[in-house]
Chain A
């Protein structure tokens, strides 16, 4: 009995020593702490930046309605944009932004999907060696260069082709098409590559031709990914300012057709911001346009998430 007591005591002191050693942080643990600390700090800074930007744009953007007492409905549905005279109907810009965004996405998607199928299914080798760098190059070209090419090439071309001044939604669509093409293409490539190999093998084993496999199996199962790609492309088109501003003509009127000058939210922002005074209606109205842009990009992000979630469920089934 005493012996066991002694043994227990001995064990006790031993375990105390061990617990001391175990409770004392080792070097690796400390490094872990420091690493975690740095990560949290970085995350904190990013969250702070995002939060303060959201707060800043929102508070400036709603000043139009709280300080200048413009009704929200009038702002969203009005068609007369003359901020210096107190008329701020933003509908022409909202319509313009959506028109160029959807038009560019509609034109670019078939090209992007076609290219992506070529790069993944038809000729993966050539795709990787030749098309991949070309697409990456397109991503790297600054938007002012796109705009300049648009102004020097696309606008005169459209003038000869369809008449008018050449400035308008159609020219903007053309420029945006080239700008969103790489975004949509590379993301579509990723989603096509993510289709499980056995889907394709099973389809081929059942005697399906390559075209049947691509159209009925691969494209079908990659649809959520492709939709995500298209929405990312649209988000880029919606937020593009410089290139669009150079070719759309910036006329704050409701677009009647594709070939007359129109304007987008971004183009009004870039043309107007330097000439307005902080705290006045023309300046606040521009911030309200910025707020719409912000909300739209949040909406696009949310949409991407919803689609990604639905896609996941589909794969699991």
Chain B
């Protein structure tokens, strides 16, 4: 009871808290244009988008010192329900609002700010570097249970999933399982936990955003397509999702300015790439909420 209620209280408290940090800087050029801009912007949700949003937010408030901008995690579900309830100005999400039960997507406006590629990762011990899509599906549905069946070592496969409802998991299952039920297995609640557990547990397999790859674990190619940014941009690599910033109704000036800043060349061409995301401007395809991909 203790932790559950603490968590609920925590969520309530977090929505009241402000961690915004507006540092006074002596930039001269943009000062006049931004002098009028002020207000409070709160972006809450996806932990996958959080690092990018936080860094961009810091840069944004450095230029617009009157804007109080706060970026928080909490998960895509939290982001979507908070923005729908009108509690925050921006709801960060890894998945389309249409994909989430209980969210009225037509009331929200989608702003795609980046693309994240995800790939299966395995412990280096397994000896597997490439899998067929069908094999991957069989592993996650529990039909293949030993690495030797797919050309690896004689070692039991340990599946590590993300929590049900996680955006990363939804993306992975849409692309790989295509409606089939995943076998019940371990569930972890963050990319960081998955990264640590896969790199230390022999026989482990999971999936991670590209930015979480390390040399301690093996990213797996699918049907000999390597998980790279270029392959995502052309949709040769199928497991990827947009990072969304959702707003409700007509956002205020400060929010609009921040969203515009997220889409600007300054962010898309440097920050997005530096932090391991893929720029929305580089995408040569478009995916809609139903997963249908069209060439640009």
Residues of A participating in the B interface, judged by any CB pair closer than 8 Å: 53, 56-57, 82-85, 151, 155-156, 159, 165-167, 239-242, 245-246, 249-253, 261, 263, 265-266, 269-283, 289-290, 293-294, 296-297
**Chain A residues with CB under 8 A of B8:** 56-57, 290
Q: Which residues from chain B contact A249 at a C-beta distance below 8 Å?
A: 186
A195 to nearest B CB, angstroms? 31
Using Cβ atoms and an 8 Å threshold, which residues of chain B touch A277? 77, 80-81, 100-103
User: Which of B159-167, B213-221, B268-276 contacts its partner?
Assistant: B159-167
B292: interface (CB < 8 Å): no
User: Which of B81, B166, B204 meets A165, CB within 8 Å?
Assistant: B204
Determine how close the nearest CB of chain B comes to the CB of A63; give it in whole angstroms.
13
Shortest distance from the beta carbon of A262 to any chain B beta carbon, whole Å: 10
* Alpha-carbon distance A166/B100, docked complex (angstroms): 34
In-complex Cβ contact of B3 among A84, A167, A242, A276 (8 A): A242
CB distance from A176 to the nearest CB of B (A): 13
Nearest-neighbour CB distance to chain A for B164, whole angstroms, equals 5
B7 & A159 in contact (Cβ 8 Å cutoff): no
Q: How far is the CA of A165 from the CA of B5 in the complex (A)?
A: 31
In whole angstroms, what is the CA distance A243 to B167 when docked? 24
Alpha-carbon separation in the docked complex, A94 to B127 (Å): 38
The reply to whether A250 and B103 form a contact with Cβ atoms under 8 Å apart is: no
Tell me the bound Cα distance from A268 to B3 in angstroms: 12
In the complex, A239 Cα to B181 Cα: how many Å? 31
B171 within 8 A of A: no
Give complex CA distance A159, B202 in Å. 9
Asked whether B1 lies within 8 Å of A296 as measured between CB atoms, the reply is: yes
- Tell me the bound Cα distance from A187 to B101 in angstroms: 48
Partner of B163, one of A156, A166, A271: A271
**Interface residues of B: mostly helix, strand, loop or mixed?**
mixed
Q: Is the CB of B1 within 8 A of A272?
A: no
Is the pair B74, A165 in contact by a Cβ cutoff of 8 Å?
no
Given A251-B185, A252-B184, A280-B102: A266 and B77 interface contact (C-beta under 8 Å): no
Which chain B residues lie closer than 8 Å to A82 at the CB level? 164, 181
| Interface residues in chain B, defined as those with a beta carbon under 8 Å from any beta carbon in chain A | 1-5, 7-8, 11, 47, 73-78, 80-81, 85, 100-103, 158, 163-167, 181, 184-189, 193, 196-197, 200-204
A149 to chain B, nearest CB (A): 13
A296 CA / B2 CA spacing, docked (Å): 11
Chain A interface secondary structure, helix, strand, loop or mixed? helix
Q: Is the CB of A270 within 8 A of B185?
A: no
Which residue of B74, B75, B76, B163 has the most chain A CB atoms within 10 A of its CB atom? B163
Q: How far is B103's CA from A280's CA once the two chains are assembled, in angstroms? A: 9
- A295 (CB) vs chain B CBs: closest residue: B1
| Closest chain B residue, CB of each to CB of A92 | B184
Knowing A277-B77, A277-B100, A278-B81, the reply to whether A272 touches B165 (Cβ < 8 A) is yes
Interface core residue of B76, B78, B164, B201 (most chain A CB under 10 Å): B164
Could you pull out 8 A-B pairs where Cβ atoms are within 8 angstroms? Answer: A155-B200, A165-B204, A246-B193, A269-B4, A271-B163, A273-B7, A277-B102, A294-B1
CA gap between A56 and B5 in the complex, in Å: 10
Asked if A289 meets B77 with Cβ closer than 8 Å, knowing A159-B201, A165-B201, A251-B187, the reply is no
Contact with B78, one of A253, A274, A279, A293 (Cβ below 8 angstroms): A274
Q: Are B1 and A293 neighbours in the complex by a CB distance under 8 Å?
A: yes
Taken together as a complex, chains A and B put the C-alpha atoms of A250 and B196 apart, in Å, by 15
- B7 partner, pick from A165, A269, A276, A297, beta carbons under 8 A: A269
Q: Whole-angstrom distance between the alpha carbons of A85 and B187 in the complex?
A: 16
Q: Is the CB of A274 within 8 A of B77?
A: yes
* CA of A261 to CA of B196, assembled, Å: 17
Partner of B165 from A165, A246, A282 at Cβ < 8 Å: A282
Given A252-B187, A275-B76, 4 more A-B residue pairs with CB atoms under 8 Å apart are: A57-B8, A151-B196, A250-B163, A276-B77
A281 to B77, CA, bound (A): 13
**What CA separation (Å) do A156 and B196 show in the bound complex?**
12
Q: A84-B164, A165-B201, A275-B164 are in contact. Are A290 and B1 (CB under 8 A)?
A: yes
Q: Are A166 and B3 in contact, with the CB atoms below 8 A? A: no
Pick the contact of A276 from B4, B165, B186, B197 — CB < 8 Å?
A: B165
The 8 A-B residue pairs whose C-beta atoms are closest, nearest first, are: A274-B75, A275-B165, A241-B3, A277-B102, A280-B102, A290-B4, A294-B1, A271-B189
Which A residues touch B73, using CB under 8 A? 274
* Chain B nearest Cβ from A158, distance in angstroms: 11
Complex: A261 Cα to B202 Cα, angstroms: 15
In the assembled complex, which residues on chain A have CB atoms less than 8 Å from the CB atom of B85? 278
**Would B2 and A239 count as touching, CB distance under 8 A?**
yes
Question: Which has the most chain A C-beta neighbours within 10 Å: B1, B76, B81, B184?
Answer: B1
B186 engages A167 (CB within 8 Å): yes
Smallest CB separation, B176 vs chain A (Å): 17
Closest chain B residue to A276 by CB distance?
B77
Residue pair B186, A271 in contact (C-beta under 8 Å): no
> A261 to B103, alpha carbons, bound, how many Å?
32
CA distance A263 to B74 in the complex (A): 21
Please indicate the chain A residues that have their CB under 8 angstroms from the CB of B47 in the complex.
274
**A275 and B163 contact, CB distance less than 8 A:** yes
Contact of A156 among B76, B165, B200 (CB under 8 A): B200
Distance between Cα atoms of A265 and B5 in the complex (Å): 13
